Amino acid sequence: MDIRGKTVLVAGATSGLGLGVARHFSARGANVVIVGRRGVLAAQIADDLGENALGIGADVGDTEAVAAVVAATLDRFGTIDINVNTAGILAPVILVTDTGRPSDATVLARLVSTNLIGTFNVMSHAAAVMLGNAPDEDGERGVIINTSSVAAREATTGLVGYAATKAAIEGMTLPAAREFAGRGIRVNTIVPGGFDTPMVDDYAGKDTKAEGINQFLNPRRLGTPDEFAAFAAHIVENRYFNAANCRIDAGYRMPL
């Protein structure tokens, strides 16, 4: 799919990977919808990107809020061609507390609501719109890209909740792609390793990130949001890319 002139809805676009995607696709000539919890910031980012951008505040875990985002997108741009889901939170969850008591599921529920249900909500509403798009010469109507994490496959202690939600997102990829087989929507999931984002800063801190640089094979540095965005753009443009969970991590593997 050619990015220029298409409308891309980016969930989680007020910082980090999602912000990188919004800026990259806007520079490539797309109409961009910036969605995030911080509505004022989303609007400011849209103003910076120009008249072909729209910023909307929403909690993606709220189905009605997502429906309102889609309605506003259709009112402004008429359709949705591309959906990139990066909205997510990272918080520690363990099974047994330091005092030997079972953990409660409060934080796990927040992770599930944002990371998993939020991704499901947006891709479901976006796909419903895409199915009404006129197919191009290859029968394509839309592209959905979700975001997992290498933690889904090799998480360290304390990430049992985050890892579970990210593994679930990968688990949706193939059945979702099969649901739209022959109907013109491709579904893929990017599995990033260590990227330089505020969410990682908040969780790990700069010292911990610096210590982990040797875990990267080449190049030995954190990835940038623009590198993630360029990979997302390639997935959109390469029509033969479908039903895949693809790592982008410089060979990084999470240590024990």
For the chain, which domains are there? Answer: 7-243 (3.40.50.720)
Which is catalytic among the residues 162, 203, 240, 252?
162
Burial of 76 (0-12, 13-18, 19+ CB in 10 A): middle
**How far is residue 191's CA from residue 153's CA, in Å, rounded to a whole number?**
10
243 SS3 class? coil
DSSP class per residue in 165-226: HHHHHHHHHHHHHHHTTTTTEEEEEEEE-SB--HHHHHHHHHHHHHHGGGG--SS-S-B-HH
pLDDT of residue 205: 67
CA 119 to each of CA 34, 74, 98, 168: distance values in angstroms, whole numbers, following the listed order:
15, 19, 32, 10
Tokens of 87: 């909205």
Find, among 1, 245, 9, the residue nearest to 142 by Cα.
Answer: 1
Q: How far apart are CA 27 and CA 212, in angstroms?
A: 32
Torsion of CA 176, 180, 181, 182, to 10 degrees: -170
> pLDDT 10s per residue in the chain (256 long)?
999 999 999 999 999 999 999 999 999 999 999 999 999 999 999 999 999 999 999 999 999 999 999 999 999 999 999 999 999 999 999 999 999 999 999 999 999 999 999 999 999 999 999 999 999 999 999 999 999 999 999 999 999 999 999 999 999 999 999 999 999 999 999 999 999 999 887 767 666 666 788 899 999 999 999 999 999 999 999 999 999 999 999 999 998 8
Residues 6+ apart with CB under 8 A from 59: 37, 65, 114, 118
* CB-CB neighbours of 250 under 10 Å: 17
Q: Which residue has the tokens 């002139």?
A: 5
Q: What is the predicted pLDDT for the residue at 191?
A: 98
Instruction: Look at the pTM and tell me if it is higher than 0.75.
Output: yes
Tell me whether residue 162 is one of the annotated catalytic residues.
yes
